[in-house]
Amino acid sequence: MPWSQIKPDMDEPDYGRDNGLDGRRVTYAAATREALAQALSLDERVFVMGQGVDDPSGMFGASRGLHLEFGNERVFDTPLAETALTGVAVGAALAGMRPVYMHNRPDFLFLALDQLANHAAKWRFMFGGAAPSVPLVIWACIGRGWGSAAQHSQALQGIFQHIPGLKLVMPSTCHDAKGLMLAAIKDDNPVVIIDHRFNFKNKGIVPEDPYLVPLGKGIVRRPGRDVTVAAFSHLVADAYMAAEELAREDGIEVEVIDPRSIRPLDEELILGSLARTGRLVVADTGWKTGGVTAEVAALAAEKGFASLKAPVARVASPDLPTPAGYTLEAAYYVGKDQIKDAVRRVARA
Amino acid sequence: MKSETMLALYRSMLRIRRVQERIESLYLQDAMKTPVHLCIGQEAIAAGICLALEPDDSIQSNHRGHGHYLAKGGDLKAMIAELHCKATGCSGGFGGSMHLVDVAAGHLGSSSIVGGGIPIGTGIGLAMRMRRTSQVSVVFFGDGAADEGVLYESLNFAMLKRLSVIFVLEDNRWAVCSPRDSRQTGDNVFLRGADPDRLFTARLDGNDAEIVHETARAAVARGRSGAGPSLLVCDTYRIMGHAGCKAQEPSGYRDACEIDAWSDKCPVALYRAKLASRGILDEPTEAAMEATIAAEITEAFDFAAQSPLPHDGDLHKHLFSE
């Protein structure tokens, strides 16, 4: 399929060695799959479910073959019934299991919203802590690409960000894909992981032993003194490439930060970086209005106002559904070029 | 059926009825600052089903859940305190009347979203299967919830995996002010077409506690043996309005004759008469039962009245398990 070629397979940026990683390089899919396999091995309460989770393609490779290794009872295909099956996962979690419910596309999570927003997110609070919590992981991958159009290309993090009681994670590296998945499974609360298909085109350094990347803790991907770019998911790599080019072309030193979790949000990381640079660009694949970039910009206005030397700039998808046609699609999506433009704008302001 | 089982059934129904009546009589005083959805007329279902369960079997209830909670062994004091939104309530004043919980009694919490508990109870059944226990998971829901697609989805999954889930449809004929006939074709669609090997189905007189109990025992045995789920459609009637007390019931949406006809089929009165005619319930036994229940209810209301309210400092607790 041509859409497999819209982004070539590549090594992810090494982010300047500052992340202290060394070792074997594996694909993003292999990193995610390794997390699932290790969780299934380490904790008998863990199981993996999803429509197509035992397909030959196995969720872009993230779950490929797990059913052969761990059996059809612990890794199973589901009926096409996202509302009930999300409730089934909630019930199983309440009764002591640790389900991981995987979706090839996030669009179907709209069908699951009743159980996610009305039930999983509220269950513990609604009973004043007297009911069990819901240790549930919902994983979904944004399927951007070639003519996928309005439904199959949605970036829905803004919806989930809005709901108290859900944790929300968007990994950007192979290392974090594994560590955040293991942390999400270990967490006693409902965690939504929104992944991006572009991340799956990457290879990166991933330690073999199980490890946790704490939820709510971000990281500086590239230090810089002039402008902060807070980017999410695959836009972290775009921001990093933009920063490298801006340093060469304009002499602007961009600090790229990757909050990794949207909720809880690493406010200290964002405000700390803003305090160093005084200028902020926020980049996210979701819609602009009421979305992730709006929330981070509001954080800067509310708690980092004294640091701001220029208005915050946002790089986000326009408030439109995704078109299918490739010229329209190219006009719709944001990436490295839009980040560069935004950085130049705030650097001059 | 043994006479002590009959008396236990009657006692459970009577206790639910008397609790409801006390709530109804005091509701306009506004000490209970939460909506209530009374189940007067539907007691035989909760009592008949739950008497067939063990404490570690699980139930999923709904907004009309007082009967389920009490029949399953939920703590009365904690329930009445919750209706008063007190810190000693079963949900600490965070849940109110629609979100009762008593984990020790096998009641893992209830949803006010119509149909919301159906897949959750199914998932509890999945966990029981994966943990290789012989527990059963019961889901109570009304005919309004049977309008929801999630019932079909959950039944399909329970049949597919042969889960030990008992779906109990309390067909009380009204969803708020919408009659069943405006929402569904006469007989319930889920009773047709399912392979009896995969799903045991029965439509029964939900006002007859013995029939409900006997059918529940069969469904429980089926579940414990690993044979799979059951769907019990229990015909009954909501004597009171959708929410609040009688004085708050809007008029004009249903025929008074219909209410009278169903009041004549009161499950508590019918069973009392039946046990009396069998010589199992005599007047002294009944009087003693009434006195014990009345004292217990008074004690629960006193407990609720004297209990402290939650502190505003508690607001941010409980969102996450740390």
For residue B322, what pLDDT band results from cuts at 50, 70 and 90?
confident
Could you give the angle at the alpha carbon of B203 between the alpha carbons of B198 and B205, nearest 5°? 145
Report which of residues B137 and B250 the model is more confident about: B137
Lay out the sheet containing A10-11: strands in order across: A10-11, A202-205, A25-27
Model confidence pTM above 0.90: yes
Residue A1, pLDDT > 50, answer no
As a whole number of angstroms, the distance between CA B80 and CA B298 comes to 10
Cβ-contact B49, B138 below 8 angstroms: yes
Task: State the ipTM, two decimals.
Answer: 0.94
Residue B86, pLDDT > 90, answer yes
Helices (H) and strands (E) counted in chain B, each on its own, are: 10, 8
- DSSP of A147-177: T-HHHHT---HHHHHTSTT-EEE---SHHHH
Tokens for A288, please give them. Answer: 């602009």
A251–chain B Cβ distance below 8 A for any pair = no
Q: Give residue A290's region: left, alpha or beta (phi > 0; psi -120 to 50).
A: left
Residue A17, pLDDT > 70, answer no
Distance from CA of A303 to the nearest CA of B (A): 21
pLDDT confidence of residue A105: 85
Residue type for position B16: I
Query: Chain A residues with CB inside 8 Å of B113's CB?
Result: 114, 118-119
The whole-number average pLDDT for the span B29-57 is 97
Residue whose pair of structure tokens reads 């904690």 in the numeric block: B78
The whole-number average pLDDT for the span A254-271 is 98
A92–chain B Cβ distance below 8 A for any pair = yes
Query: Chain A residues with CB inside 8 Å of B318's CB?
Result: 124-125, 127-129
User: CB-based contacts of B78: which residues, under 8 Å, 6+ apart?
Assistant: B88, B89, B90, B102
Give the model confidence (pLDDT) of B136-150 as tens digits.
999 999 999 999 999
CB contact under 8 A, A94 and B124: yes
Cβ-contact A316, A155 below 8 angstroms: no
Strands A280-287 and A313-317: parallel
As a whole number of angstroms, the distance between CA A278 and CA A48 comes to 44
Cβ-contact A202, A10 below 8 angstroms: yes
CB contact under 8 A, B109 and A188: no
A261–chain B Cβ distance below 8 A for any pair = no
> Which 25-84 residues of chain A touch chain B by CB within 8 A?
47, 73-74, 78-79, 81, 83-84
The residue among A48, A127, A134 with the most chain B CBs within 10 A of its CB, best to mutate, is A127
Residue A101, pLDDT > 60, answer yes
Residue A2, pLDDT > 70, answer no
Query: Chain A residues with CB inside 8 Å of B130's CB?
Result: 47, 73-74, 92, 97
CATH classification code of A219-348: 3.40.50.920
For residue B191, what pLDDT band results from cuts at 50, 70 and 90?
low
pLDDT confidence of residue B171: 95
Residues of chain A with CATH 3.40.50.920: 219-348
Residues β-bridged to residue B60: B139
Among residues of chain A, what percentage have pLDDT more than 70? 96
As a whole number of angstroms, the distance between CA A89 and CA A136 comes to 7
Report which of residues A152 and B169 the model is more confident about: B169
Residue A31, pLDDT > 70, answer yes
pLDDT confidence of residue B125: 98
A–B CB contacts, 8 A cutoff, strictly below: 154
CB contact under 8 A, B153 and A115: no
pLDDT confidence of residue A150: 87
As a whole number of angstroms, the distance between CA A109 and CA A100 comes to 14
Among residues of chain B, what percentage have pLDDT more than 70? 98
CB contact under 8 A, B157 and A85: yes
Distance from CA of A255 to the nearest CA of B (A): 32
**Catalytic positions of A, please?**
152
Residue B43, pLDDT > 50, answer yes
In 3D space, the residue among B89, B70, B75, B71 whose CA is nearest the CA of residue B32 turns out to be B89
Interface residues of chain B, partner chain A, Cβ below 8 Å: 58, 60, 89-95, 99, 101, 103, 108-109, 111, 113, 116, 118-128, 130-131, 137, 149-150, 153-154, 156-157, 160, 310, 317-322
Residues of chain A with CATH 3.40.50.970: 24-206
CB contact under 8 A, B111 and A189: no
pLDDT confidence of residue B186: 66
CB contact under 8 A, A85 and B153: yes
Lowest average pLDDT, out of A269-278, A326-335, B20-29, B98-107, goes to A326-335
Give the model confidence (pLDDT) of B117-129 as tens digits.
999 999 999 999 9
Residue A206, pLDDT > 70, answer yes
Give the model confidence (pLDDT) of A235-256 as tens digits.
999 999 999 999 999 999 999 9
pLDDT confidence of residue A54: 95
CB contact under 8 A, B123 and A73: no
The whole-number average pLDDT for the span B201-213 is 97
CB contact under 8 A, A126 and B95: yes
Average pLDDT, chain B: 95
Cβ-contact A200, A237 below 8 angstroms: no
Could you give the angle at the alpha carbon of A284 between the alpha carbons of A103 and A18, nearest 5°? 100
Cβ-contact A214, A23 below 8 angstroms: no
Cis peptide before A210 (omega within 30 of 0): no
pLDDT confidence of residue A18: 46
A118–chain B Cβ distance below 8 A for any pair = yes
CB contact under 8 A, B119 and A91: yes
- Nearest residue of B to residue A130, measured between CA atoms: B91
DSSP H or E run through B152: helix B149-161
Query: Chain A residues with CB inside 8 Å of B93's CB?
Result: 128
Q: Which residues of A113-124 are buried (b: 16+ CB within 10 A; e: fewer)?
A: bbbbbbbbbbbb
As a whole number of angstroms, the distance between CA B123 and CA B157 comes to 10
Asked if the A24-206 domain carries CATH number 3.40.50.300, the reply is no
